[in-house]
Structure 1
Amino acid sequence: MLKNWTVITKPVKNGSDGIIARERYLNSRKHQNHKNTEEIIDIIGNESTSKKIIIAGERYRLRSKLKANRRGRPLSSFAIEFCLTLPKQYRPTPKQWHAIIVECCRALADHLKLTGDDRKTFFNHIRGVCHQQHQAGIRGAGDHVHLIVSKVLKDRVLTELQKKAATRVLKKAFTAATVTHIGLSIDEYKPSELDKGNRLEKWQYESQKVELANAEKAKLQQKLEKQIKRWEEAVAKADMKQIKRQRNRIEQSLKQLKRHEPSHK
């Protein structure tokens, strides 16, 4: 039984370049990973929000360099990316997604114990993009939101964001928010029931595989018959070169046909 909906966490690496690359990726309709993406929708912020994250990161990095007593590596990751995914067959509206994500962001802010201006600044440096996915089939992801959250808050780095505890908080908030805003409870989610339609599709897929295998087998049999005929003609002409060639081809065809035979254990 699932406890929470899926949340995947990873740092956005390579400083400003990494943020720019993620912004382009999230809005790219031509990327190979987005073949099953039907719509791309801004949920929180926009391209300007990504620029704010970059500016905050670059300012922090510059201040760190100016501090004479500062040692260690310069900050290379300006943000954390969370990907919040729902199972197929569930499609919140953009307004519903916005409400869900707002609750998730509040839970993160509470976890980080942010108040006042810090809390407001934190919310202003969050970017959220929804990918509505093709719903048919049993493979592939369902609708999901990529949430890019700045690690830099004024003069400090929110290291707690990249720890497992933050991901756990976000999972719980995400799961609870779906109950509040779309009436979807994980306690009622049963993959076996939701996959009833998919089982028929899987059966159809297996049926297609059998049909293709039978078609391939028929082609091989026709090919074998032609090879045997050519071999017989070569024997009649005592053409040793052709006899050897056709015999090798016949042996290869027989091996291929054997692969299509059902195995008996």
Structure 2
Amino acid sequence: MRIAATIFLTDRTPSPVRIARVLEERGFDGLYLPEHTHIPVSRDTDAPMGGDLPEQYGRTLDAFVALAQAAAVTERLRLGTGITLVAQHDPIDLAKRIATLDHLSGGRLTLGIGYGWNVEEAADHGVEWSTRRELVRDRMALMRALWAPKPEGYIGEFGSVRASEAHPKPAQPPRELAGGAPLHGPRTLLGGTAGPKLFTHITEFTDGWIPIGGRGLSESLPALRTAWEHAGRDPKALRVIPYAVQPTPGKLSHYADLGIEEVVLQLPSAGEGEVLRVLDDFAQYL
């Protein structure tokens, strides 16, 4: 099993350069970073974990800038977002950033995407909450048009782009959707709570699922695999990567029994001493 890590990197934690070097030196598989542009102080949305929202949510570094630093000082460490809030970005600009990072890193990027949870944050980006899922789906299709090897236009419900020269292209080769249609771009995983709508979107335009915490996989994984195969996707191509996991030997053994080959462990958003102490503990799982 490949073991990666995620951390809320902020202006008060070790730098992306330091974290990336330590992870690669110790044999970890990857570094995944979350994203929040801002956290409105006046907020009715409950924190996803309940209680008060930890301050690191409002102090996160820009994930793509931080991962670019990590890419520059490593050779094999995978880079990932967990997650990119696609609805909050201009898709043409985001497509360029994603393709550039994948190109410069030699195809090491995993694009974790999601619909978001913070209504007020999304509203400041002009996102209509009730349509955010359809908006993400539309923007992913627009970005895939820009990542296609030849100029390809796209007209969607929420946006469009003319057939354009758009380089660099992502370094990762296309995969196959149902019917043999190409899936352009880096490996893409969709986050969210298990259910028919989420699983339909996973099968339509991604490479798999990135479930936060990894609970309930014994029940949800068979349902996703069934939906995947019914959609005509190759069963061997599905990727499921539990994210932000607090590990135990029994938990990781359970994941392995389910056929999961990658997992992302949660590091504390803390000073270097605390982060290194937790990494020392995580080393038993490598």
Q: Which of the five TM-score ranges fits, normalised by the shorter chain?
A: under 0.3
Quick check: which has more Rg, 1 or 2? 1
Q: Relative contact order (alpha carbons < 8 A, sep ≥ 6): 1 or 2 greater?
A: 1
TM-score normalized by the length of structure 2? 0.22
TM-score normalized by the length of structure 1? 0.23
